[in-house]
């Protein structure tokens, strides 16, 4: 299969797509599309951030830390942040690339320890294609930003109701919000695709591969919940 066929088959027939990746890993197309989407989404979100809400959140954060700032000082900080907003696209691309490389490396090392025989290139190909549901999530998020006209800085991920995060308040129930927000349709879809992909690379069954993939996903969720308790909002 060529790159375009594998790209489409990942959505339509993922088992065949990952079998093709095992035989001949392809990366460029899926990686380029996903990095462009990450950059575009980061740019749109940054340039449509609700300025009043962002300012209020900053003042609230300062007050909680015992710092007092004048309105002029707060305005200067917000103005400085706004100057860097257009560069959010670059940050989004770099961050996404790092995530794909790290995830591919973690799975590569994990299954190598389990005596699986495949290359890092194959691992990266499976990872990038496994994250393709994020393309749909990104398009929906951008559409919602244009529809509403602004982004809530407290919960930018809540633009699309694809997870259970809306059941908990992002300010007063940060840990619960982070936990529920992790149960996302697109994240679970990606986890299933990654399981299918690494099952194909390792020659294992879906049932034997799933505990490792979903186990790492659970570790990520726990880390996310932990950070929500540590990082002030």
Each residue of 25-56: pLDDT tens digit? Answer: 999 999 999 999 999 998 888 888 777 767 76
The mean pLDDT value for 116-128 works out to 95
For the chain, domain boundaries: 3-230
Note whether 56 and 6 are within 8 A (CB): no
What is the biggest distance separating any 2 CA atoms in the chain, rounded to whole angstroms? 62
Residue 78 confidence (pLDDT) above 70: no
Each residue of 131-145: pLDDT tens digit? Answer: 999 999 999 989 988
The mean pLDDT value for 110-136 works out to 94
Give the model's pLDDT for residue 10.
96
Angle between helices 88-113 and 28-47 (to 10 degrees): 140
Q: Among 33-37, 42-46, 71-75, 99-103, which is the least confidently predicted range?
A: 71-75
Q: Among 9-18, 50-59, 176-185, which is the least confidently predicted range?
A: 50-59
Which pTM was predicted? 0.85
The mean pLDDT value for 11-32 works out to 95
Joined together, the tokens standing for residue 21 give 């990746």
Which residues, at least 6 apart from 69, have a Cβ–Cβ distance to it below 8 Å?
59, 62, 77
Q: Rounded to whole angstroms, how far apart are CA atoms 225 and 207?
A: 27
Among the residues of 26-70, which ranges form H helices?
Answer: 28-47, 51-64
Give the model's pLDDT for residue 208.
94
Give the model's pLDDT for residue 170.
66
Each residue of 80-93: pLDDT tens digit? Answer: 666 667 778 888 89
Residue 230 confidence (pLDDT) above 70: no
Mean pLDDT across the chain: 84
Could you tell me which residue, 67 or 125, shows the higher pLDDT? 125
Give the model's pLDDT for residue 183.
82
Rounded to 5°, the CA angle 12-10-146 comes to 90
Tokens 């899926």: give the residue.
Answer: 30
The band of 70, judged by pLDDT with boundaries at 50, 70 and 90, is low
| 3-state SS assignment for residue 23 | helix
Could you tell me which residue, 60 or 41, shows the higher pLDDT? 41
């Amino acid at each position: 299969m060529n790159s375009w066929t594998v790209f489409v088959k990942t959505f339509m027939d993922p088992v065949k797509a990952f079998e093709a990746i095992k035989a001949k890993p392809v990366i460029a197309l899926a990686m380029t599309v996903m990095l462009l989407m990450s950059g575009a989404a980061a740019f749109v979100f940054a340039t449509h951030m609700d300025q009043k809400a962002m300012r209020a959140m900053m003042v609230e954060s300062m007050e909680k830390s015992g710092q007092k700032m004048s309105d002029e000082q707060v305005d200067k900080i917000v103005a400085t942040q706004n100057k860097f907003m257009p560069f959010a696209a670059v940050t989004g691309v770099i961050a996404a690339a790092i995530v794909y490389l790290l995830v591919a490396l973690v799975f590569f090392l994990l299954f190598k320890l389990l005596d699986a025989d495949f290359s890092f290139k194959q691992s990266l190909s499976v990872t990038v294609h496994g994250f393709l549901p994020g393309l749909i999530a990104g398009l929906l998020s951008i559409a919602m930003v244009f529809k509403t006209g602004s982004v809530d800085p407290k919960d930018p991920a809540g633009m699309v109701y694809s997870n259970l995060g809306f059941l908990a308040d992002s300010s007063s129930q940060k840990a619960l919000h982070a936990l529920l927000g992790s149960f996302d349709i697109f994240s679970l879809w990606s986890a299933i695709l990654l399981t299918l992909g690494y099952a194909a690379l390792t020659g294992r069954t879906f049932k034997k591969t799933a505990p490792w993939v979903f186990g790492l996903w659970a570790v990520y969720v726990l880390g996310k919940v932990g950070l929500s308790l540590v990082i002030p909002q």
